[in-house]
Chains A and B, each alone.
Chain A
């Protein structure tokens, strides 16, 4: 550096701060590794290829939802409607997926369209009405659940084609398809966030909306795109789920939005906006999956699992804020 800090407040202080912050970013990763180590010692069944494959497969749906909601939270918003979007998508996709009716792209596209539409609806109302995202998406959550029940007349949509069921239940090169889908979309979402103009604008809008606007960024356009993307990723999760359980379920996805938000937050996305990474969110989702799997293996009942999960969410945020205060 030719131009080092000289008269600025404290050059040494800055580098120490960065060092502390650096550790903070890896904190969740270290915690994840530690928990995996503990689980492999406590239950020998944990560290097996078959078990880990199951864990990642199970995590894939929550992770896809969490990627979408990470975009939204980075811009300073929230999306509570994604669980209902999963249900709508599930019913819509399943209706087009009966054997010998349409080619498999049709249910996929129909499901995606449903999710994108719901997302765009959120974006439209939020940008046009200035009503807080929390309220708008709370409304959409109820609307979506109702739509799913109306479209399916309250009954599961079964009898789906084999090619559709392959999406979430098949294997490619010996790897379950949900894991492959997860990897592909993790890469896409990371690139969008880190390498594109859109990603940069998301951080800017969440970091300081007014300054972003004064820099010529079209807030409404960014928000519109972000909520639509979030809806699209929720649709993807819905299609994956439908294919895995081989039925369109109007009651699917209840509470999924909270798991997704939890994954994002555990992964270091701040609910006040402006910070967050896809890697963090992925680890957050994996952490949730690994812990519930570990507790299953140790025969802990699901009642206790919920308590443990809650403690972990609060713990992660408390650690993060302690770390922030240190800075």
Chain B
């Protein structure tokens, strides 16, 4: 294998007749239809040994359908998949796994009560059938060697539930390697990792590359894509758009390919006027999570909160919203001290919270868009005990139009919406409780570029309507692009409160690792 010092690109041109690249996986004309709608239409992919191939596209572009076909969860309508020179016809997940295609899912699939080693070898403990004896000692040993090779220090005998998300991810990778995977698909592997953990992951990926393992990498984070990938394939609306070496692309061009139009500026301009102080927090502390946090937010202002994973950002938001208790410190709303014990207290006082974990804290999946949106303000639509359907329906319809939520109707269940639209439903719910302050925790996590832009516009609208906004984000460009002031946290302590003029990616990072 050729060694290169610059970003992965090896001068490979798919149309060049001179090179005969050793493709490990070739996909041609892949088409898949769900209920008459083409989820994938003539999709192609050429994957070389030892390359990191990024698969890009907005949510709904067909990435997950594509990957689900590759690992045998879906059967394609037509098209061919050639793996190591022969056509892959199997539609059995286990068979494909044995042939060497593994996937690391976005939602980590582990058995929390089993140990690390037991999880790694789950399903391959022994090849002698159901009732054969498991040699725990040998498995622990093998797992230990595997993890050591990866350069991670996790004990094979630790129960999985005690690991951090990042460590669990490493175990999943170890599992894929133990399976002798030749192709590893990684779906948003860094969505829950800190920068340091991302660096470890990338180190492992580079090692895998050296061993000739090909990686299909799915992520919404542009900087990561350019850091780790060699080749980029773009899908849009289920169609194949283009494949290019990463070195020949930059962020705007890539976004243009993904969205199919140009987004002139990623961050819309805000015209909001800073008003009176809405919330102020004094010496807020919670043992083991954060201490001595002091800041204020004004009407018409976005206060960004930046920091690494585990810096205490979400914990502060949860405490202000009454989801977690605080040990000491005071919270004032419009100068009046508040005692917030439950989310209900917070909502009544005019605080809204859009959680980082949409699925867990945001919405009720089986409920309709309408019912989800009115959930936090239902008494406003009730006379006595009874819900006034007319008032509820009208309010929901207004909000759907207002936030431009794409749904088949107010009675559509939220599960069927795309991530961006689900997020808008959650924001709609929070807004219907008429808050003075909205806390947005990772408001654009896991949603595509186009929808991100709409959320940004929405944030600007909130502040120009005189609402105070606290925005927590791991994406520095987002923090820089939208915040008027930026609170930087490090290990539960506040290390800086920067004005827009003072803040750059570098200064924020400097204070975040303080």
Is B400's CB under 8 angstroms from A214's CB?
A: no
- A215 CA to B425 CA in the complex, in Å? 13
Q: Is B408 an interface residue (CB 8 A)?
A: yes
Given contacts A8-B406, A15-B408, A274-B364, whether A214 and B355 have CB atoms under 8 Å apart is: yes
Residue of A nearest to B371 (CB): A200
Is A17's CB under 8 angstroms from B361's CB?
A: no
Q: Is B149 an interface residue (CB 8 A)?
A: no
Contact of A212 among B348, B364, B400, B405 (CB under 8 A): B364
Distance in angstroms from A211 CB to nearest chain B CB is 5
Residue of A nearest to B426 (CB): A211
B353 cross-chain contacts in A, Cβ below 8 A: 214
Is B407's CB under 8 angstroms from A216's CB?
A: no
Is B408's CB under 8 angstroms from A208's CB?
A: no
For B353, B404, B406, the residue with the greatest tally of chain A CB atoms inside 10 Å of its CB is B406
Contact of A210 among B342, B361, B400 (CB under 8 A): B361
Q: Is B386 an interface residue (CB 8 A)?
A: yes
Is A12's CB under 8 angstroms from B36's CB?
A: yes
Residue of B nearest to A203 (CB): B367
Count, chain A residues at interface, CB 8 A: 39
Q: How large is the interface on B (under 10, 10 to 19, 20 to 34, 35 or more residues)?
A: 35 or more
Is A211's CB under 8 angstroms from B360's CB?
A: yes
Distance in angstroms from A206 CB to nearest chain B CB is 9
Given contacts A195-B387, A208-B365, whether A216 and B35 have CB atoms under 8 Å apart is: no
- A2 CA to B406 CA in the complex, in Å? 11
Q: Is B362 an interface residue (CB 8 A)?
A: yes
Q: Is B287 an interface residue (CB 8 A)?
A: no
A208 cross-chain contacts in B, Cβ below 8 A: 360, 363-365
Contact of A10 among B39, B401, B421 (CB under 8 A): B39
Among A267-287, those with CB < 8 Å from B are: 274-275
- A11 CA to B409 CA in the complex, in Å? 11
- A15 CA to B411 CA in the complex, in Å? 12
Q: Is B446 an interface residue (CB 8 A)?
A: no
B421 cross-chain contacts in A, Cβ below 8 A: 8
Is B35's CB under 8 angstroms from A198's CB?
A: no
Residue of B nearest to A221 (CB): B344
As a 0/1 sequence over residues 186 to 227 of chain A, the CB contacts with chain B under 8 angstroms (1 = contact) are 000000000111101101100110111111111000000000
As a 0/1 sequence over residues 300 to 339 of chain B, the CB contacts with chain A under 8 angstroms (1 = contact) are 0000000000000000000001010000000000000000
A9 cross-chain contacts in B, Cβ below 8 A: 37, 39, 60, 418
Q: Is B34 an interface residue (CB 8 A)?
A: yes
Residues in chain A within 8 A of chain B (CB atoms): 1-18, 195-198, 200-201, 203-204, 207-208, 210-218, 274-275
Residues in chain B within 8 A of chain A (CB atoms): 34-37, 39, 60, 237, 321, 323, 342-344, 346-348, 353, 355, 360-367, 371, 375-376, 378-379, 382, 385-387, 389, 400-401, 404-409, 412, 416-418, 421, 429, 433
